[in-house]
């Protein structure tokens, strides 16, 4: 008797991880991917070094997400240690960097992806590229656009792992939103996350575009004075500002831009020196020029240029004024970069639209995983970890659902491939 047939749509980290789980249980697994090859966004994420997860304590790790209560059961089952062990099972060694981030020793995503796909192929998982999902037939089967025309596929269960709406050229184009919305699935709008923000610079700063500012701290204040803070690097651009510091604060910045039309990002350009000590170092001395005085105090390059951007020239020799500006430098942000240029997206299938196993309430036997779910996280390994974990969680949900149908006495029912329901097929 043939195993049950599960279809996974989307060959990114969540979809491949779901296939990893299901193929271990002997189910027939077919992955359908819209692009000519798999894992394109995964490969892009590893272009500069694959930061696959983070080793910080779980309490700190889970706090990085905007919906920690929802994601915690998933992350408890597949956390950073589990990811490192899983990589080891594929003969991919890993290491923990000084920041706590975890990388494969080869740094790139391609070797890991090759070994992973080889393992899945060895278990019988079939990958079908150039299959663009079009939705459902009236009978509930899956419709795909292919080079050869429309193809209809029957499945006993389906996992949708279609990504968010960023990097559409790599496959995450958000085209699934109207398909599910038309099936009464609750979806929060997809919005850019881990993205750059817009502001207006004077021509004076043009020569500093693209040069990173390191060892700085940034924060956003909400209406009650509470702060979200980040310490990383930032880069001035033609449109505004980007970089790890900004990405980590993209959620509160986005919320304030949407609510108020703008947001203020504050920077401490020299966080390792107090304002009073900095002011004492900035006091003009003898024939030393302002440039040399600032440089000796640690204020040069992009940082010095930013001060000159907003302080009148007659204030440059006012040590207290300069120090105050350095310690709380305000940048008014007026918008976000387009969703197509964001690293990830917030929004997606709402928590209320799925059950505790990530199955859609209005579409029985259809599960969701990965970035298409409505959660948000910064870069640093958190995005990939949640995609892996939710993919596994959805796959386990499929196994529970199939098993539940058997236990409820449906042994006279047949799956779409004509096989009778039975425990041996699980």
Integer-rounded Cα radius of gyration of the chain:
25
pLDDT-derived band of residue 224, with 50, 70 and 90 as boundaries? Answer: low
Q: Please give the mean pLDDT across all residues of the chain.
A: 90
Q: Which residue has the higher pLDDT, 168 or 312?
A: 312
Q: Assign domain 5-192+345-425 one CATH number from 3.50.50.60, 3.40.50.300, 3.40.30.10, 3.40.50.2000.
A: 3.50.50.60
pLDDT of residue 226: 67
Contact 426, 15 (CB under 8 A): no
How many CB atoms are closer than 10 A to CB 144? 20
Tokens of 273: 């020196």
Contacts of 96 (CB under 8 A, 6+ apart): 55, 102
Q: Got the DSSP string for 272-316?
A: TS-HHHHHHHTS--TT--HHHHHHHTT--HHHHHHHHHHS-GGGT
For residue 223, with 0-12 CB atoms within 10 Å meaning exposed, 13-18 middle and 19 or more buried, which class applies? exposed
Whether the per-residue pLDDT at 61 is higher than 90: the answer is yes
Which 8-state DSSP code applies to residue 178? Answer: H
CA angle 301, 306, 311 (to 5 degrees): 130
pLDDT, tens digit, 9 for 90 and up, residues 270-299: 999 999 999 999 988 777 788 899 999 999
Contact 104, 52 (CB under 8 A): yes
Continuous segment of H or E residues that includes residue 181: helix 176-181
pLDDT-derived band of residue 232, with 50, 70 and 90 as boundaries? Answer: confident
CATH 3.50.50.60 maps onto the chain at 5-192+345-425
pLDDT-derived band of residue 7, with 50, 70 and 90 as boundaries? Answer: very high
pLDDT, tens digit, 9 for 90 and up, residues 34-51: 999 998 988 888 777 899
Whether the per-residue pLDDT at 152 is higher than 60: the answer is yes
Contact 230, 219 (CB under 8 A): yes
pLDDT of residue 418: 34
Contact 229, 240 (CB under 8 A): no
pLDDT of residue 2: 65
Reported pTM: 0.88
3-class secondary-structure state, position 124? coil
Which 8-state DSSP code applies to residue 363? Answer: S
pLDDT, tens digit, 9 for 90 and up, residues 323-368: 999 999 999 999 999 998 899 999 999 999 999 999 999 999 999 9
**Average pLDDT estimate for 13-33:** 95
Q: Pick from 329, 341, 195: which is nearest to 254 by CA?
A: 195
Contact 53, 381 (CB under 8 A): yes
Q: How far apart are the first and last CA of the chain?
A: 11
Whether the per-residue pLDDT at 19 is higher than 50: the answer is yes
Q: Pick from 402, 375, 369, 361: which is nearest to 387 by CA?
A: 369
Contacts of 181 (CB under 8 A, 6+ apart): 187
Contact 287, 258 (CB under 8 A): no
Whether the per-residue pLDDT at 422 is higher than 60: the answer is no
Helices (H) and strands (E) in the chain, counts: 14, 20
Query: What are the C-alpha distances in Å from 71 to residues 9, 354, 382, 412?
Result: 21, 13, 11, 36
Q: Which residue has the higher pLDDT, 59 or 230?
A: 59
How many CB atoms are closer than 10 A to CB 81? 12
Q: Pick from 333, 163, 170, 324: which is nearest to 259 by CA?
A: 333
3-class secondary-structure state, position 252? helix
pLDDT of residue 421: 37
Percent of the chain scoring above 90 in pLDDT:
79
Percent of the chain scoring above 70 in pLDDT:
93
pLDDT of residue 169: 81
């Amino acid at each position: 008797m043939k195993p049950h047939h599960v279809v996974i749509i989307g060959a990114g980290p969540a979809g491949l991880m779901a296939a990893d789980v299901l193929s271990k249980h002997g189910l027939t697994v077919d992955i359908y991917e819209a692009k000519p090859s798999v894992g394109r966004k995964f490969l892009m994420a590893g272009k500069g070094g694959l930061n696959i997860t983070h080793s910080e304590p779980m309490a700190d790790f889970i706090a990085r997400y905007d919906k920690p209560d929802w994601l915690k059961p998933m992350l408890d089952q597949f956390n950073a240690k589990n990811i490192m062990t899983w990589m080891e099972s594929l003969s991919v060694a890993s290491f923990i960097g000084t920041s706590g981030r975890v990388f494969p020793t080869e740094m790139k995503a391609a070797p890991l992806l090759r070994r992973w796909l080889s393992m899945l192929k060895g278990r019988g998982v079939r990958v079908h590229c150039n299959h663009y999902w079009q939705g459902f037939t009236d009978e509930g089967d899956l419709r795909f656009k292919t080079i050869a025309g429309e193809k209809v596929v029957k499945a006993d269960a389906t996992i949708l792992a279609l990504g968010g709406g960023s990097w559409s050229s790599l496959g995450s184009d958000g085209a699934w939103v109207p398909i599910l919305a038309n099936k009464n699935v609750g979806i929060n709008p997809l919005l850019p996350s881990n993205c750059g923000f817009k502001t207006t610079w004077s021509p004076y700063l043009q020569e500093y575009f693209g040069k990173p500012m390191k060892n700085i701290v940034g924060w956003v204040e909400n209406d009650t004075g509470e702060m979200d803070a980040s310490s990383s690097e930032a880069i001035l651009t033609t449109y505004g500002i980007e970089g790890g510091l900004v990405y980590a604060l993209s959620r509160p910045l986005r919320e304030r831009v949407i609510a108020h039309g703008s947001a203020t990002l504050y920077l401490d350009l020299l966080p390792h020196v107090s304002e009073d000590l900095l002011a004492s170092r900035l006091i003009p001395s003898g024939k030393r020029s302002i440039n040399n005085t600032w440089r000796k105090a640690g204020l040069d390059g992009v940082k010095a240029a930013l001060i000159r951007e907003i302080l009148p020239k007659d204030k440059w020799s006012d040590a207290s004024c300069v120090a105050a500006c350095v310690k709380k430098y305000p940048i008014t942000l007026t918008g976000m970069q387009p969703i197509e240029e964001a690293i990830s997206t917030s929004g997606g299938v709402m928590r209320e639209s799925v059950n505790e196993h990530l199955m859609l309430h209005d579409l029985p036997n259809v599960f969701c995983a990965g970035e298409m779910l409505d959660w948000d996280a910064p870069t640093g390994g958190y995005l990939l970890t949640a995609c892996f974990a939710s993919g596994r969680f959805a796959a386990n949900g499929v196994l529970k659902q199939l098993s539940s149908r058997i236990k409820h006495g449906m042994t006279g029912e047949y799956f779409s491939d004509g096989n009778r329901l039975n425990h041996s097929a699980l």
